[in-house]
Structure 1
Amino acid sequence: MIDLHTHTIFSDGELIPAELVRRAEVLGYKALCMTDHADEATTYHILENVLRFVKKHGHFFDINVLAGVELTHVPPALIAEMVKSARDAGAQLVVMHGETPVEPVAPGTNLAAIEAGVDILAHPGLITDEEAALAAERGVALEITTRGGHSYTNGHVAAMARKHGAGLVVNNDAHAPRDLVGEELRRTIALGAGLTPDEYRQTEANAWEIVQRCMK
């Protein structure tokens, strides 16, 4: 299992990085990225602290630990600039908070994030044909999420990814200990979204490919 979308006390998560990583390790996760909610005001603060943890403490855990951000409620016109800023600040992974049906995300966020080359478009809601096709072309992974509310459109996301050949990953979007699901529930949610067992296994391969790319 790999989780590339989690939150710590550096945004609205409940856990410090060490406890989040330890809990994921005990559950059997092999890689985890901390991706706290970020905008212009918080990106550098988050990455300065989380990167320090990853560099000094990450190798003590039996799990690959990465530092990233989830750009959140950034105006679409500024997304490309913010993606570059996050990477310049050391983000190993850039996730974009997509157009979920349960939050007032600005229209155009999905498209702007894909055009900017984020690594993962999180909970993209009712993603369009144009957006899913462009994600496939640009190598942007679309997220199947285990998180309540955001997961309402998992089935649509899965269908659009299949239609256009976009890569999928399964993430928890964990904010609290209860959000880190085990392997059985994780698989059930993916299959419930309409994935076949082979497609579910491919999500883990996609995630591992992202991890390897980020660690280079």
Structure 2
Amino acid sequence: MYDFHTHTYLSDGTLSPLELIRRAAEKGYRGIALTDHVGMGSLERVIREIVEDCRLARCHWDIVAIPGVELTHVPAPAIREVSRQAKKLGACIVVVHGETITEPVEKGTNLAAVQSPDVDILAHPGLLTLEEARLAAANSVHVEISARKGHCLTNGHVAQLALAAGVKLVLNSDAHDSPDLLTQAFAVAVLKGSGLNETELEQVLSTNPQALVNELTLPGLS
């Protein structure tokens, strides 16, 4: 199990970075990205702390702990620059908080995310358009199927468009506490509920996450 979208007490989660990683390892995760909410002002502080704790976890535990961030309610025209700065400061994965139907996310956020070369994942994109999906595919931006309450409401729509456009999908928990972490059974249920078949399930749960991890430049990661 891989999960590329989680939160610690560095933003609105409840656990420390190391405790979240530890609980994920105990739950059988192969890899987890810590992606706390950030804007430009909090980038340096959050990334510095997460990088150190992920490095420590990788040294001692059998889990790929990945330092990342989620750009949340960042003005759409600034997403390219903020994501570039996040990578420069040491984030290995940049997630953008997409246009979920449950929040007043600025229109144009999805489009800015899939056009930004330093963005890896567009999270909970809500009513994703075919244009956005095609750009995500062309620019190698993964699109999220969300297991999070509320954000998951458009999973079927997102999956249908993304698959038609050739987008690489990933399933993420958007965990804010340990009970939010995924089990294999629940992950399969979410994806089946999103309309995926068995071949597509394997792609989303195994092939796409492993390929994404293999692309990362992460000390100690083979």
Q: Give the TM-score band, short-chain normalised.
A: over 0.9
Deviations 1:53-106 (A, max 9, x none): 122332211111110000000001111110111011110000000000101100
**CA distance, structure 2, for counterparts of residue 34 and residue 106 of structure 1:** 24
**CA distance, structure 2, for counterparts of residue 59 and residue 97 of structure 1:** 30
Task: Write out aligned runs for 1:78-157 (5 A).
Answer: 78-117=78-117, 118-157=119-158
SS at 1:59's partner residue? helix
Deviations 1:98-156 (A, max 9, x none): 00010110000000011113100000000001000110111110000111000000000
**CA distance, structure 1, for counterparts of residue 199 and residue 23 of structure 2:** 27
SS at 1:121's partner residue? strand
**CA distance, structure 2, for counterparts of residue 50 and residue 105 of structure 1:** 25
- Structure 1 match to 2:24: 24
Deviations 1:7-55 (A, max 9, x none): 0011001110111111111111100000000101111110011111122
Tell me how many residue pairs correspond in the alignment.
216
Task: Write out aligned runs for 1:43-82 (5 A).
Answer: 43-82=43-82
The AA in structure 1 aligned to 2:108 is G
Structure 2 residues not aligned, in runs of 5+: none
SS at 2:32's partner residue? strand
TM-score (norm 2): 0.95
Deviations 1:157-214 (A, max 9, x none): 1000111111100000000111112110111001100011110110121111111111
**8 Å Cα contact 2:20/2:178 also seen in 1:** yes
The AA in structure 2 aligned to 1:169 is V
The AA in structure 1 aligned to 2:138 is E
**CA distance, structure 1, for counterparts of residue 109 and residue 79 of structure 2:** 8
- Structure 2 match to 1:176: 177
**CA distance, structure 2, for counterparts of residue 138 and residue 78 of structure 1:** 18
**8 Å Cα contact 2:57/2:63 also seen in 1:** no
- Structure 1 match to 2:217: 215
SS at 2:35's partner residue? strand
**CA distance, structure 1, for counterparts of residue 46 and residue 104 of structure 2:** 23
SS at 2:112's partner residue? helix
- Structure 2 match to 1:198: 199
SS at 1:215's partner residue? coil
Structure 1 residues not aligned, in runs of 5+: none
Calculate percent identity across the aligned residue pairs. 44
**CA distance, structure 2, for counterparts of residue 84 and residue 56 of structure 1:** 25
The AA in structure 1 aligned to 2:144 is E
Q: How large is the RMSD of aligned CA atoms in angstroms? A: 0.9
